[in-house]
């Protein structure tokens, strides 16, 4: 039996559960989102889960994700988490608001949201559909590309996630920490958050999005985020993927940028057995900036995949991508960065860099930069390097009497520094550095 046939059997099982799923939706089955959900189910039936024969997935084998039938959270008892768990997984030493989702469902008892600017909304998507239906209807799904079964699965079975609306000229004074906690002691759970962020003209916000795990069972997080960034808005989106090592994580983020918007996306991928982060952005007017930063850290037999797509649709815009990989043991990384410069996108300035350090002879990386340029007045460059820690620098440090483990840690710290220093929340930088060395089980510098 081929992988496609095996995967289709799993897909058919998920599809067959839709009627049971509908019966547990209560009032949600009568909302416009359910019509979108049923359209997605049709796409889900048509699409297949990707195999290594699919060009976009050739380096990431998703078969381990599809060996088991993960249960939707509606079918299992609620997972309870306490304040200590949230605090231990938080970034601290600065003021912030907090919204928590457990297995994709809003957890009001764990969420703390202070006073917001006039007209701003931070809520669950489920509540937003009740309280702001026209706003949700206007934006949801407008820029989502449904090209594989994971996206279609999310759109079919998601019932909740974060909703943020920033009115014209308003700024969130405090960063918003978002927690997606997945897992259960009862069963293998499928967590499917769907998130929508709308930033109107001249608005600004910082988001810290934490994906973490709990419980003794394997779980699967399949998440999707849509971000609409209007003229002259400014958005920082910092994602920490720190799932449990026995879990799976698939993430699709779709960004639509308008004139003068500055969008910063940071991906820190430390957890999960197999993870894939897809982030794509359309630069659909002039004077837009798009910055993608990432650090992926692999130990054991982790597999960490990043795919980026920057679509320069209009002139006079710039994009900048810097991804760093640190891979130890038998871990494997994948980086595929695509830049599209369309015929109208003259004066584009696009840069992409992917550098990976292999700390073990058995670690591996596949890096695939892709440029498609259809304009002639552009500045576009990309580079990729793969190697071990700088041996010349290592021997120089050792010659100064520094012991071996500290010398290696100094070089790792220097390698990751430019990505960590790009984070615009100063107290987070030391805490990210601490997490990095904690995951590597190395002396912290």
d(CA 88, CA 109): 17
CB 298 within 8 A of CB 268: no
Rounded to an integer, what distance in angstroms lies between the CA atom of residue 229 and that of residue 233? 6
Beta strands in 172-260 (DSSP E): 176-182, 189-191, 194-199, 204-213, 219-229, 234-242, 248-257
What is the token pair recorded at 384? 């990729």
Q: At 242, list the tokens.
A: 């720190």
Q: CA distances (Å), 157 to each of 133, 152, 164, 329, 341, in order?
A: 19, 9, 21, 36, 35
| DSSP 8-state assignment for residue 360 | S
Residue 93 zone, left/alpha/beta (φ > 0; ψ -120 to 50; rest): left
Tokens of 367: 């890096």
The pLDDT, as a whole number, for residue 8 is 86
Taking the mean position of all CA atoms in its chain, how far away is CA 214? 19
Q: Residue 436 has which token pair?
A: 């990095």
- Give the integer Cα–Cα distance in Å for 58 and 421: 33
Place of tokens 């990751």: 416
What pLDDT score does 155 carry? 97
Q: What is the pLDDT at residue 2?
A: 67
Q: Could you give the 3-state DSSP secondary structure of residue 239?
A: strand
Reading the chain (445 residues) residue by residue, the pLDDT tens digits are 566 778 888 889 999 989 889 888 876 767 888 889 999 999 999 999 999 999 999 999 999 999 878 999 988 899 999 999 999 999 999 999 999 999 999 999 999 999 999 999 999 999 999 999 999 999 999 999 999 999 999 999 999 999 999 999 999 999 999 999 999 999 999 999 999 999 999 999 999 999 999 999 999 999 999 999 999 999 999 999 999 999 999 999 999 999 999 999 999 999 999 999 999 999 999 999 999 999 999 999 999 999 999 999 999 999 999 999 999 999 999 999 999 999 999 999 999 999 999 999 999 999 999 999 999 999 999 999 999 999 999 999 999 999 988 999 999 999 999 999 999 999 999 999 999 999 888 878 7
Domain residue spans in the chain?
A: 3-285, 390-445
Task: Tally Cβ neighbours within 10 Å of residue 181.
Answer: 25
What is the DSSP code (8-state) at residue 79? P
Looking at residue 398, what is its pLDDT? 93
At residue 30, the pLDDT reads 75
Q: Which strand (E) or helix (H) includes residue 137?
A: helix 133-139
pLDDT value for 368: 96
pTM beyond 0.85 = yes
For 5, other C-beta atoms within 10 Å of its C-beta total: 9
CB 160 within 8 Å of CB 194? yes
Instruction: Count Cα neighbours of 169 within 13 Å in the Cβ-side half-sphere.
Output: 1
Q: Which DSSP letter does residue 171 get?
A: B
Q: DSSP of 256-306, one letter per residue?
A: EE-TT-EEEEEEEE---SEEEEEEEEEE-SSS-EEEEEEEEEE-TT-EEEE
Query: pLDDT at position 261, please?
Result: 99
Bridge partners, residue 339, by sequence: 310, 371
């Amino acid at each position: 039996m081929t992988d496609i046939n095996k995967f289709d059997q799993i897909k058919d099982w998920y599809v067959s559960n839709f009627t049971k799923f509908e019966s547990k939706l209560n009032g949600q089955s009568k909302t416009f989102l359910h019509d979108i959900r049923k359209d997605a189910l049709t796409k889900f039936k048509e699409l297949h889960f990707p195999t290594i024969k699919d060009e976009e997935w050739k380096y990431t084998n998703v078969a381990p994700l599809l060996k088991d039938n993960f249960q939707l959270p509606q079918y299992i008892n609620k997972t309870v988490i306490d304040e200590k768990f949230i605090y231990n997984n938080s970034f601290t030493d600065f003021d912030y608001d907090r919204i928590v989702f457990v297995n994709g469902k809003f957890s009001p008892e764990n969420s703390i949201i202070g006073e917001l600017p006039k007209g701003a909304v931070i809520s669950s998507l489920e509540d937003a559909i009740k309280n702001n239906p026209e706003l949700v209807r206007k934006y949801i799904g407008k820029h989502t590309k449904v090209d594989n079964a994971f996206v279609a699965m999310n759109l079919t079975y998601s019932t909740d996630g974060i909703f943020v609306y920033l009115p014209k000229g308003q700024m969130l004074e405090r960063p918003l920490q978002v927690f997606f906690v997945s897992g259960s002691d009862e069963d293998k759970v499928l967590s499917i958050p769907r998130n929508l962020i709308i930033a109107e003209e001249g608005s600004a916000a910082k988001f810290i999005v934490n994906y973490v795990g709990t419980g003794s069972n394997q779980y699967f997080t399949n998440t999707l985020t849509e971000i609409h960034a209007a003229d002259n808005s400014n958005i920082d989106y910092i994602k920490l993927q720190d799932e449990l090592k026995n879990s799976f994580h698939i993430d699709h983020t779709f960004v639509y940028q308008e004139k003068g918007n500055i969008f910063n996306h940071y991906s820190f991928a430390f957890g999960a057995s197999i993870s894939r982060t897809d982030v794509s952005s359309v630069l659909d007017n002039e004077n837009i900036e798009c910055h993608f930063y990432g650090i992926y850290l692999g130990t054991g037999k982790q597999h960490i995949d990043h795919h980026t797509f920057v679509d320069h649709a209009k002139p006079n815009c710039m994009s900048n991508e810097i991804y760093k990989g640190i891979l130890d043991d038998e871990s494997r990384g994948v980086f595929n960065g695509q830049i599209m410069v369309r015929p109208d996108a003259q004066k584009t300035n696009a840069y992409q860099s992917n550098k990976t350090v292999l700390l073990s002879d058995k670690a591996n990386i596949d890096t695939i930069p892709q440029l498609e340029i259809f304009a002639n007045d552009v500045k576009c460059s990309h580079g990729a390097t793969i190697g071990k820690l700088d041996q010349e620098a290592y021997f120089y440090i050792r010659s100064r009497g520094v012991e071996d483990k500290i010398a290696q840690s100094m070089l790792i710290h220097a390698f990751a520094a430019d990505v960590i220093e790009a984070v615009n929340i100063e107290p987070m930088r030391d805490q990210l550095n601490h997490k990095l060395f904690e995951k590597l089980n190395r002396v912290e510098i």
